[in-house]
Amino acid sequence: MPRPDSGHALTMPILRKAARPLLASVFLSGGLRTFRDPHSVLSAADPVVQPVTDRIPQLPDDTVRLVRIGGAVQLGAGTLLATGRLPRAAALALAVSLVPTTLAGHAWWKTEDPDERARQRTQFTTNLSLLGGLLIAAADTHGKPSLAYRSRAAASSGRRRVRRAGREAGAGVSGAVHGVRSAAASVGDRLPVG
């Protein structure tokens, strides 16, 4: 008799295959557009990029280059997520890339016009929703235990095996000592007393 939740086990892989490309689609189109034409977002990106490059000297100081790198990350990670290749790492990379994109492109608190402010707030909250979806995708283990859980379970199993081997070795030593004593007693019984 099938388990009541067996339908869940069948639908989740199908949902993942459909949901990942849907989630990735906005990053594929936006990443391609930004990579091809970084100047289209330059005015919005510069106020976010400059403070970051001032704090992290290893980053290039060229906003166009950083915007293009961001577009390439979104395009590459979006492709990986859409195809199901390294989906957790891809989702995490997209989540990281979404933060500066959101702060640069949808800073609604800086906008004076009420209509534009409302539009930017909507885009900002949409990106927050995308961030939530990406974080869920980054944590999705496909119904399998996480790497941390498997590591803890393997360590626990190893400790149990070592303890068991120690007990068995102790029993073996104890048995060997008993065997030596028995043999000595047997030999002693056969020796003539003189």
pLDDT at 176 over 70: no
Of 83-87, 162-166, 185-189, least confident by mean pLDDT is: 185-189
Give me the pLDDT at residue 153, please.
76
Instruction: Give per-residue pLDDT as tens, 23-36.
Output: 999 999 989 998 99
Assign 3-class secondary structure to 120-140.
Answer: HHHHHHHHHHHHHHHHHHHHC
Q: E-assigned strands of 15-89? A: none
Residues 158-174 as b/e (b if ≥16 CB within 10 A, e otherwise) read: eeeeeeeeeeeeeeeee
CB atoms within 10 A of CB 25: 13
Domain ranges in the chain are 6-144, 147-194
Give me the pLDDT at residue 1, please.
45
Give me the pLDDT at residue 163, please.
81
Give me the pLDDT at residue 168, please.
74
Instruction: Give per-residue pLDDT as tens, 39-98.
Output: 888 777 777 777 777 778 787 778 888 888 889 999 999 999 999 889 999 999 999 988
pLDDT at 3 over 60: no
Contacts 24+ apart (CB under 8 A), 145-152: none
Residue 139 or 53, more confident = 139
Q: Cα–Cα–Cα angle for 147, 97, 52, nearest 5°?
A: 115
